């Protein structure tokens, strides 16, 4: 596996109440990423993940699609500090 990196995404659109955080958790698990997904007060979802650059790139593409009932209008991606974590949590 490559060097660990971290990314933070803010996903906007109809992304709360449609299973988006569970979608993020499922895809992170499939890709071997650790981190979390949580709803933000403004209606967006924050996703944070740690893994290899290739895994994070794949995750970014999946987050832009979202689950079936979501309507993703925008995804803002930033580099983040790598925090140790062994799983992907939902808050």
Domain count, the chain: 1
Check 7, 39, 62, 84 and give the catalytic one. Answer: 39
86 found inside a domain? no
Q: In this predicted structure, what is the pLDDT of residue 2?
A: 59
Read off the CATH number of the domain in which 9 is found. 3.30.70.100
29 found inside a domain? yes
Check 7, 8, 12, 21 and give the catalytic one. Answer: 21
Domain range for 25: 4-78
89 found inside a domain? no
**Proportion of the chain in helix, strand, coil states, percent, rounded to 5:** 25, 40, 30
**Residue 52 token pair:** 């290899």
Its pTM stands at 0.95
Q: What is the mean pLDDT of residues 51-71?
A: 97
20 found inside a domain? yes
User: pLDDT tens digits, residue range 4-13?
Assistant: 999 999 999 9
Q: Which residues of 11-49 are buried (b: 16+ CB within 10 A; e: fewer)?
A: bbbebbebbbbebbbebbeebebbbbbebeeeebbbbbb
Q: What is the mean pLDDT of residues 21-50?
A: 98
**pLDDT score of 1 more than 70:** no
Cα–Cα distance measured from residue 6 to residue 78, given in angstroms and rounded to the nearest whole number: 9
Q: Is 27 annotated in the active site?
A: no
52 found inside a domain? yes
85 found inside a domain? no
Q: How far is CA 65 from the centre of its chain?
A: 11
Q: What is the mean pLDDT of residues 62-86?
A: 96
Q: Is 21 annotated in the active site?
A: yes
């Amino acid at each position: 596996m490559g060097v660990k990196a971290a990314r933070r995404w803010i996903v906007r659109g109809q992304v709360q109440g449609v299973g988006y955080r569970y979608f993020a958790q499922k895809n992170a698990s499939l890709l071997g990423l650790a981190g979390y997904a949580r709803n933000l007060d403004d209606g967006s979802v924050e996703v944070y993940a740690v893994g290899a650059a290739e895994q994070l790139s794949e995750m970014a593409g999946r987050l832009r699609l979202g689950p079936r009932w979501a309507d993703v209008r925008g995804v803002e991606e930033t580099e983040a500090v790598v925090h140790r974590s062994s799983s992907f949590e939902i808050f």
